[in-house]
Amino acid sequence: MKKQTVIAVLLLLMVAFAHAQTPFVSGKITSKDGAPVPGASVRVKGTKTGVAASGDGSFKITAKEGDILLVTALGYGTEEIKIGHDQTVNVSLSDNSKQINEVLVTALGIKRDKRMLTYSVAEIKGAAVVEAKQDNMINALAGKVAGVQITNSSGMPGSSAKIVVRGSTSLVGNNQPLLVIDGVPVNNNEDGNPSGGAMYNGGTTNRGSDIDPNIIENITVLKGAAATALYGSAAGRGAILITTKNGVGRGNEGKPNLSISSSYSFAKPNLPQYQDKFAQGYDGEYHENVSTSWGPAIDTLRVDGAPVAKHNPMKEFFRTGHTSDNNINVSGFSDRSNYMLSYSYLKTDGTIPSTDYSRHSMFAKYGVKVLKNLQLTTQFNYIQSDNSRYLEGNNFVSPLWTVYGAPISWNPFPITNADGSQRLYRTNRNNPYWILENTGLRDKTYRIIPMVTLSYTPLSWLTVTERVGADMYESTSDYHEAPGAIGWGNGGSTALTGQMYKRDIKSFRFNHDLMVEARKDFNKDLFGNLVIGNNIQTNYNDNNSVQGVDMSVEKQYNIANFAQVTSGYNYSRTRKVGFYAQANLEYKRMLTLGLTGRYEGSSVLSKDHQFYPYGSASAGFIFTELLKMSDNPVFNFGKVRVSYSVVGNDNIGPYLLSIPYFQATPNVIFPFNGQNGYTRTGTYPFPLTDEKLKEFEVGLETKFFRNRASLEVSYYDRKSIDLLTPNTPVSAATGFSVVSMNAGSMQSKGLEVTLGVTPIKTKDLTWNLSLNYSKISNKVVNLANGINFFQLAGFTTPGIFAYPGQDYGVIYGTHFEYNDKGQMLIDEEGYPIISNTPGPIGNISPKWRGGITSTLNYKGLSFSFSIEHKHGGDVINLDNNYLYYYGTAKKTEDRGYTTVLPGVFASDGKPNNIPILIGEKYYKFYSKADINNVEDGSYLKLRQVSLAYDLTTSLLKRTSVKSLVFSVTGTNFILHKNYTGSDPEVSLGGTGNGDSFNNFMVPSNKSIIVGLKVAF
């Protein structure tokens, strides 16, 4: 054994010695003013050896004395440096602002120069997504792009995140943008809870969370319809284009590059404040078997001569969450091929015991030049996720109902009685710790995303591209409740005899594009580009669900162990076919004209309306070229752009054009006595045509001080008409309860401003600052005849609705009555009068949003932060509706005195003069008015703050380690809010349209993350 150890050590020393003898040159690339030039290309002239400079401009390359280094960078002149005896070579590049061509990925994966684009586009680097340290990639975009709204649904591990670009465009359909990976649309749905809707059960994971941030090169956000028209109807709501890494330009050409990263985080819930002064009871007296907190002050309370123990239900229930995130990847490239291999493992343990989320992600990408004019790219992504959680929302089975409502004098232990039954909190409220042991939801998903792209260039001006991609996943959801669980769902109270749900979902999406792109320089001033293509998308969905009620053998959650079993099976297949074209003309790199057109057919629309055309026209004018201001030291770039587009959409589910029959369910469970029974659908199938989005956009893009500052302003006006609305209420006299129809229109107007500044740029210090601002007006213009409103979330009262003539997302509920002079009406007991008819009491739309992102680099040290502010927008805090009644809301600490409420008597109009006691009766009355549960949803959040140091700049210069970065990051610190709940951003509706509704949800978390990344 000793001999083997000695041999192994000698071999390692020999390898290290041999590596040490490899000649290399290191240095730093800066601009003339001393600022680093990250990403600059350094190559040994006449060889395949090349590297890219790191974030601080430093590089290290294999080279020897006499070799010539060729140094290039976008926006700078090329430098050739001959290597002498010194192994350190520092290079200073001259500015060449005329050559600054920022290339962005646009629709269908086509790369274009940003200065020539005629629509609004934003780009986020993959590094920024990784640094955000979010389990769900969608959350990493929060506060970074003007006009983009991100809503994290909950603090539960694996919770969904919703993204909306430029406001909602559909009444009840999908309002999220299309998610695209390397040109192929992929699934971002949220499957939901198998036991019922989000209001009673909470949300689940959206498929965007499957995407590993470590494989992302950059993300492009296409906002307007003119930018997304080529993608078809699904992109009328915007598009999020993800470009994955391919290994090109990383490290030395021909040599593999290894990168390993690991991080560990500690999460604390943002707990709301609750009253902690009064014990359980009523009328100021202690009663041990009473569940409300209207008893005496606990500090002086004694029972049988002993003080009553004081509990903190939330701090005792919640714990510190932990997340580990590990990634290893290998990449490389040569003059003919490139590759990228990556594996990541993420594991999150939530702040509620027994909740967790894990994700395995494997990614492989390989590109090869098969022939001189034929490029092949293949890639494969495999994701396996596992999520364990509990119910949230308006359901007694949610453990939070009791955690938030329990008195501080109540001890939840033991959780069972002597006979083994659950020790209830009250007659119809569960013990939260019993719920943890006897209920639960688990989702397991297996997903693959394969893609193949062939690009053939038979002529220098002609490229033919064929891209085939798929997105396939299988998801299994299991939910169980042990006998004795007191539940409440969409259909009312649930059985006490135990139940389980099992659901299997299979989703298969296939996408095929065939594109032909032609490029032509007509002369030195005129350039033309034409793209024509065909797209076919096919979706298969297979949903199998089964419910068992009345468990026979304890703790055996097998469907065969239940006395009553019901099942359902849904299968759907949809297809879209599209033919598209795009033409661009550029004159003197100053004037651009763009035209797009698409003719699309959808299987979900009526036969005579299945195919529909749409397109866009846009223009851009770089006026600084005409004025010859490109070299102006103050104002060197200015462009105005304008576009108009019309986009169709088939934003509705399949099979709504017929009258199907279903197994009958009311009163009698079929089969009955050996006979099955069927009933006709309650939905009448009106003929359906595509809904249309018409958008006008105008913008200004400018750059100052030789690109040290930039300003971009966009204004848009978009109108959606013929909106597709399933389940539209209809008179029972028709024989149906609802119809599917084109039933309304909406309008959005908005202003977006993005400011970028580099205040400091020296040899060692660079400071970049980005600010964004957006203001959106989102209104419902009209609804179809006979349709008064659509409900988006909530209950009859309070709820979130779409009413004609009002903002989208108006909150309706009960409120206090006022006279014509604005005086509150008071009854004969001195209490306000609550209206019998609900009315508008709030609006979920914010007045504006803004964000600031700052990055400061000093040698190997980096400090960055991202702040987001939401101004306005109301939130329904339905928790308070119950907690005012229970006496646990923070406000109920204010009790025990009399006051006269302002107002006038409804009977005679005279001023109120009757004093009332602020206490149990008052707060129970107070909870009945929905308006008291509507709160300001404004917030100021420190989304991310990070400090990182690259140890190679000082300690590891002459080693094989290219970088060794240690980082500390903080996320989601709420700096200011008026909201009394946990977080005004959370929403029970998940990715649905009813944002800003909170009811017994897991609080959001603030986290501290420690990370280490090493590259060889």
pLDDT per position as a tens digit, 611-654: 999 999 999 999 999 999 988 999 999 999 999 999 988 988 89
- Mapped onto helix, strand or coil, the DSSP state of residue 449 is strand
Which one, of 593, 482, 563, lies nearest residue 226 by Cα?
593
Q: Residue 792 phi/psi, 5° resolution?
A: -100, -35
Cis peptide before 414 (omega within 30 of 0): yes
Cβ atoms 427, 317 nearer than 8 A:
no
User: CA–CA separation, 170 vs 189, rounded Å?
Assistant: 16
What's the CATH number where 112 sits? Answer: 2.170.130.10
CA distance 317 to 335: 58
Q: What is the spatial distance between Cα 553 and Cα 163, in angstroms, rounded to a whole number?
A: 44
Backbone dihedral angles phi then psi of residue 766, each to the nearest 5 degrees: -135, 130
Domain co-membership, 121 together with 227: yes
Q: What Cα–Cα distance (Å) separates residue 937 from each residue in 752, 841, 1003?
A: 21, 14, 15
- Residue 407: closest CA among 332, 484, 312: 312
What is the SS3 assignment for 938-985? CEEEEEEEEEEEEHHHCCCCCCCCCEEEEEEEEEEEEEEECCCCCCCC
Residue at token pair 């646990």: 888
Spell out, as residue ranges, where the chain has pLDDT lower than 50: 1-21, 99
Per-residue pLDDT at 16: 39
My answer on whether 82 and 165 are in the same domain is no
What does the DSSP assignment read for 769-831?
EEEEEEEEEEEEEEE-TT---EEEEE-SSSEEEE-TTSBTTEEEE--B-B-TTSPBEE-TTSP
Strands ordered across the beta sheet of 997-998: 934-936, 874-877, 997-998
The Cβ of residue 4 has, within 10 Å, a number of other Cβ atoms equal to: 8
Measure CA of the first residue to CA of the last residue in the chain; give whole Å: 31
Query: Residue holding tokens 């400091």?
Result: 760
Kindly state whether residue 114 falls inside one of the protein's structural domains.
yes
The verdict on residue 121 lying in a domain is yes
Q: Do 61 and 174 lie in a common domain?
A: no
Q: Of 93, 111, 140, which residue constitutes the final position of a domain?
A: 93
Enclosing H/E stretch for 198: helix 198-201
The per-residue pLDDT for 42 is 86
Distance CA 376, CA 356 (A): 40
Task: Look up the CATH number of the domain holding residue 66.
Answer: 2.60.40.1120
The per-residue pLDDT for 55 is 59
CA 318 to chain centre: 25
783 to 691, 734, 744, 776, 807: CA distances (angstroms): 13, 19, 4, 21, 13
Q: Are residues 109 and 69 in the same domain?
A: no
Strand, helix or coil for residue 557: coil
Pairing between strand 683-685 and 738-742? parallel
Would residue 208 count as lying in a domain?
A: yes
- The alpha carbon torsion through 39, 40, 42, 45 (nearest 10 deg) reads 130
Q: What is the DSSP string of 382-394?
A: EEEEEEEE---SS
Q: Which helix (H) or strand (E) holds 433?
A: helix 432-438
Q: How far apart are CA 178 and CA 164, in angstroms?
A: 10
The sign one gets for the Cα dihedral 972, 976, 981, 985 is negative
List residues bridging with 221 in a β-sheet: 122, 240
List, in order, residues 6 or more apart from 901 with CB less than 8 Å away: 824, 826, 830, 831, 832, 912, 916
Residue 544 domain-assigned (yes or no): no
Q: Is 384 within the bounds of a domain?
A: no
Give me the pLDDT at residue 665, please: 65
Q: List Cβ neighbours of 42 (8 Å cut-off, separation of 6 or more).
A: 29, 50, 51, 52, 53, 59, 61, 69, 70, 71
Enumerate the β-bridge partners of residue 78: none
Share in percent of the chain as helix, strand, coil (round to 5): 10, 50, 35
Decide if 536 is inside a domain: no
**Token pair recorded at residue 854:** 């700052």
Query: What local confidence, expressed as pLDDT, does residue 661 receive?
Result: 80
The full length of the chain comes to 1016
Can you count the helices (H) and strands (E) in the chain? Answer: 10, 60
Domain count, the chain: 2
The verdict on whether omega for the bond into residue 915 sits within 30 degrees of 0, i.e. cis, is no
Is the same domain home to 59 and 150?
Answer: no
Task: Answer yes or no: do 152 and 198 share one domain.
Answer: yes
What is the rounded CA–CA span in Å between residue 592 and residue 982? 49
pLDDT tens column, 535-569: 999 999 999 999 999 999 999 999 999 999 988 88
Q: What is the DSSP string of 709-752?
A: EEEEEEEEEEEEES-EEEEEE--GGGT-SEEEEE-EEEEEEEEE
Last residue of a domain, one of 93, 117, 140: 93
180 and 208 housed in the same domain? yes
Sign, CA torsion 453/457/458/462 = positive
- In this structure, are residues 950 and 858 in contact, taking their beta carbons and an 8 Å threshold? no
Q: The pTM is what? A: 0.89
As a whole number of Å, the CA-based R_g of the chain is: 31
**DSSP of 13-64, one letter per residue?**
HHHHHHHHHS-EEEEEEEETTS-B-TT-EEEETTSS-EEE--TTSEEEEE--
Q: How many CB atoms lie within 10 A of CB 722?
A: 18
Name the residue type at position 472: M
Q: pLDDT averaged over the chain?
A: 90
152, HSE (Cβ side, Cα atoms, 13 Å): 28
Q: Of 93, 115, 149, which one is at a domain's C-terminal end?
A: 93
How confident is the model at residue 551, as a pLDDT? Answer: 95
Give yes or no: residues 81 and 135 share one domain.
Answer: no
Q: What is the 3-state secondary structure (H, E, C) of 480-534?
A: EECCCCCCEECCEECCCCCEEEEEEEEEEEEEEEEEEEEEEECCCCEEEEEEEEE
Say yes or no: 110 and 220 in one domain. yes
| Token digits of residue 1002 | 């897991």
Which range marks the domain in which residue 129 is found? 103-244
Identify whether 754 is part of a domain: no
- Pair 153, 183 in one domain: yes
Q: How many CB atoms lie within 10 A of CB 5?
A: 9
Q: Can you give the pLDDT at residue 7?
A: 42
CA distance 875 to 998: 7
Q: How far is CA 935 from CA 505, 880, 915, in A?
A: 38, 10, 27
Render pLDDT for 212-260 as a digit per residue (tens, 0 to 9). Answer: 999 999 999 999 888 888 887 788 899 999 999 998 877 677 789 999 9
Q: What is the dihedral of CA 22, 23, 26, 32, to 10 degrees?
A: -150
My answer on whether 39 and 129 are in the same domain is no
Q: Is residue 569 part of a domain?
A: no
Same domain, 205 and 184: yes
Contact 171, 744 (CB under 8 A): yes
| pLDDT given at position 426 | 80
